[in-house]
Structure 1
Amino acid sequence: MNAIAMQGLLDVVATTAEKDWKPFHTGIDCLPIYETPDGGPAAMLLRYQPGAHAPDHLHMGYEHILVLSGSQTDQRGHHPTGTLLINEPGSEHHVHSDEGCIVLAIWERRVKAM
């Protein structure tokens, strides 16, 4: 059985090299942890620049978001560092971060753009 171990996750800015981050959406970079080619399970770190927005999207499976630094906001409220969000299949939202943030995102199935 293979395992993924990520040390220093709570200080991800200090433990990840800038070259490892990839463009994801305008103002949002990602650091993939794992992905499946069929749109199934995936996990990555997402880094929002101040003022960045993630577009409206539909959750095809459970989405778990752990805010590691900064904060993000969606229709359900403002979510500071240390917040764990679980979005159920069939839910939809858009996300923005006024101050910027880094989150751990884990998807049961990838989201669908709306």
Structure 2
Amino acid sequence: MSAHRSRGRSTPPLPFHLPAPRDSGQWTPLLDGVRMRLLHPGSRNHARVALLRYEAGACVPWHRHSGDEHVYVLEGEQQDERGRYAAGSYVFNPAQSGHSVQSPRGCLVLIHWLGPVVFEAAPHSSLPVDPSRNPPC
């Protein structure tokens, strides 16, 4: 566990919690059909944590992870090029791995990631990816 320095002493990070999420203004659009609720903003060297809610049929186009990503499927099901992940599934995407994500019936996931996510053309495509337009996955 990392520690903070204060006047030469090492102190543990302060714990915190957020109230239970509600479908209110705390959710922000990420892409068409995908909303995010940031739980911990992280920083350059510390992981970010968020809830992502996918509407039925939503997808996130191919992207590469510059750092490790951990995903826990809380409700529904999502899938990528490597398989389908039902509620209760844990998915680990190591740094420099890439994938696109779809949720045919919708889902809610808890995601924990380090470093930026880079949207780029899928390895099998020469077309550039524009994540703001959320092209079909």
Q: Is the 8 A contact 2:37 2:51 kept in 1?
A: yes
User: Shift in Å at residue 5 of structure 1?
Assistant: 2.8
User: Shift in Å at residue 49 of structure 1?
Assistant: 0.3
Structure 1 runs of 4+ aligned residues shifted over 6 Å read: none
> Is residue 14 of structure 2 the alignment partner of residue 2 of structure 1?
yes
Q: How does 1:30-41 map to 2 (within 5 A)?
A: 30-36=36-42, 38=44, 41=47
Gaps of 5+ in 2: 1-12, 121-137
Out of 27, 45, 49, the position equivalent to 2:55 is: 49
Determine what percentage of the aligned residue pairs are the same residue.
31
Out of 59, 68, 72, the position equivalent to 1:66 is: 72
**Structure with larger RCO (C-alpha < 8 A, sep 6+):** 1
- Alignment size in residue pairs: 108
User: Shift in Å at residue 2 of structure 1?
Assistant: 2.1
User: Shift in Å at residue 3 of structure 1?
Assistant: 1.9
User: Shift in Å at residue 20 of structure 1?
Assistant: 1.5
User: Shift in Å at residue 36 of structure 1?
Assistant: 3.7
Q: TM-score, normalised by structure 2?
A: 0.72
How far apart, in 2, do the equivalents of 1:52 and 1:39 lie? 30
Cα distance change of structure 1 residues 7 and 80 upon mapping to structure 2, 3 Å threshold: farther
The structure with the largest alpha-carbon Rg is 2
How far apart, in 2, do the equivalents of 1:40 and 1:25 lie? 24
Out of 98, 109, 112, the position equivalent to 2:115 is: 109
Q: Provide the alpha-carbon RMSD of the alignment.
A: 1.8
Q: Is the 8 A contact 1:41 1:110 kept in 2?
A: no
Q: TM-score, normalised by structure 1?
A: 0.85
Out of 19, 24, 29, the position equivalent to 1:18 is: 24
2:51 aligns to what SS in structure 1? strand
